[in-house]
Amino acid sequence: MLQLKDLPDAKVLRKFAERYAEVDSDSVIHYLNILRIGTELSDSLDRFLATHGLLQGRWWVLILLMREDDLTTTPSELADKSGVSRATMSGLINGLLRDGLIARQEGDVDRRSYSVKLTEAGQAKLDEVMPDYYSRVKKMMGAIPVQQRDNLLMQLMLIKEQSHVFD
Amino acid sequence: MLQLKDLPDAKVLRKFAERYAEVDSDSVIHYLNILRIGTELSDSLDRFLATHGLLQGRWWVLILLMREDDLTTTPSELADKSGVSRATMSGLINGLLRDGLIARQEGDVDRRSYSVKLTEAGQAKLDEVMPDYYSRVKKMMGAIPVQQRDNLLMQLMLIKEQSHVFD
DNA sequence: TTATTATAGTTAGCTGGCTAACTATGTCAA
DNA sequence: TTGACATAGTTAGCCAGCTAACTATAATAA
């Protein structure tokens, strides 16, 4: 999702404030920056994964599978844990099946469903990517000391909790 | 883009750390939370705009047009300022054209291009949405005092700047 | 003037979000 | 037991992101 790259400067904000009395410039700037930074962090991750021939959505699915002791779970569990719809998960799974990173197992207990299991190729791909990923995350987050990060996160969470005002 | 909803707990992190020595749990948790919160804030905005019958990408385009003194600009300018490709902007513009929120003006100066202008219907839609949007942003960001927000933003920017480690 | 390089916008194809509708199956209440 | 309701997964259609390739045009160098 597009988040504005060219953020409004003082002139633009003034223009909008003249028409819309509700403008609070600081709030707007802070908000738009947070949105934009979120996009850019995600884009960085995209680009990194692309160097390993992986797409982000599919990679999260591999990770969720690896969490399981038997490397196996159902599409609806994957959808719930990732936070996407079952329809979306259906597509992600199909991509991974095509690439041979997961395999399909027909359900026994519930005939409406099936399971997917991380394959050896899938595990190998994670073994290739995750060390690199973790060391980079560590380095990036190292820009700020842990305690400050805790505080940062708490503040972001406060904002997120307030986001119900958009409901 | 999916950002993980079910974030790893201590057990999961331990499992991954046993296999990948590079894991720094705090960094991972902080990072994943930031990504997730970015997604949720954007989703909130999506839902809000939907109540006004608007899609987020298109709405940003309307805003960019409103910035201009003549409410007019070119597709490539819109693409550059929003941070998306020209191909993507082509689609966004077509949607807005269909809805009559913008109108197309053939280019005079450069025959490779054309301009798009915010229509009265487009301005009316913004006039409907923006007061509501601004007051909600103000309320949401009010969860944290301005000075703390400044600090929060500086820290996020530090992280963003470090995100080149993913390159 | 001509050829090369750059640019504006579009299309095709891939990706991945959504909702609504659907089929198949499971659960629960009467 | 039967009907109503719920659930798992898929499909269609819309949305919006990308790249590569394309056409048309503009700018620049020779």
Are A13 and A84 members of one domain?
no
Residue B151 within any structural domain of the chain? no
- Residue A102 pairs with which residues in a beta bridge? A118
The answer on B23 and B75 residing in a single domain is no
| B38 neighbourhood in chain A, CB within 8 Å | 34-35, 37-39, 41-42
Same domain, A39 and A74: no
- Confidence tier at A106 by pLDDT (50, 70, 90): confident
Task: Say if residue A101 is in the same domain as residue A113.
Answer: yes
Residues in B 86-145 whose C-beta is less than 7 A from nucleic strand C are 86-87, 89-91, 93, 107, 110, 112-114
Mean pLDDT for chain B? 95
Distance D3 C1' – A86 CA (angstroms): 27
Calculate mean pLDDT across residues A1-15. Answer: 94
Q: What is the CATH number of the domain that holds B85?
A: 1.10.10.10
Q: What is the pLDDT of residues B83-110, one digit of tens each?
A: 999 999 999 999 999 999 999 997 677 8
**pLDDT at residue number B151:** 95
Residue of chain B whose Cα is closest to the Cα of A19: B127
pLDDT at residue number A107: 66
Q: Please identify every stretch of chain B with a pLDDT value under 50, giving residue numbers as ranges.
A: none
> Do the interacting molecules here have an ipTM over 0.85?
yes
* pLDDT digit string, tens, across residues A78-105: 999 999 999 999 999 999 999 999 999 9
Size of interface A-B (CB pairs under 8 A): 254
Query: Are A161 and A124 in a shared domain?
Result: yes
pLDDT over 80 (residue A20): yes
Q: Pick the residue of A42, A45, A154, A161 with the most B CBs within 10 A to test the interface with B by mutation.
A: A42
Q: What percent of chain A has pLDDT over 90?
A: 92
Mean pLDDT of A48-66: 96
Beta strands in chain B (DSSP E): 72-73, 102-106, 114-118
A143 with B135: Cβ contact below 8 A: no
User: Domain range holding B113?
Assistant: 58-143
Q: Which residues pair with A72 in a beta bridge?
A: A117
> What's the Cα-to-Cα distance from A144 to each of A30, A157, B152, rounded to whole Å?
19, 18, 11
Q: Which chain C nucleotides are covered by protein, judged by CB under 7 A?
A: 7-13, 15-21, 24-26
pLDDT (0 to 100) of residue B110: 87
Q: How far is the CA of B92 from the C1' of D18 (A)?
A: 14
Tokens found for residue A135: 């060391």
pLDDT tens digits for range A110-162: 888 999 999 999 999 999 999 999 999 999 999 999 999 999 999 999 999 99
Answer whether A39 sits within 8 Å of B35, measured CB to CB.
no
List the beta bridge partners of residue A106: A114
Q: Report pLDDT for A137.
A: 97
| pLDDT at residue A147, as a whole number | 94
> Looking at the structure, do residues B45 and B63 belong to the same domain, yes or no?
no
Whether B1 sits inside 8 A of A148 (CB atoms) is: no
Residue A32 C-alpha, separation from nearest chain B C-alpha, in angstroms: 10
- A118: buried, middle or exposed (CB in 10 Å: 19+, 13-18, 0-12)? buried
Same domain, B125 and B68: yes
Residues of chain B contacting residue A82, judged by C-beta atoms under 8 Å apart: 2, 4-6
**Distance in angstroms (rounded) separating the CA atoms of residues A159 and B152:** 11
Mean pLDDT of chain A: 95
Q: How confident is the model at residue A35 (pLDDT cuts 50, 70, 90)?
A: very high
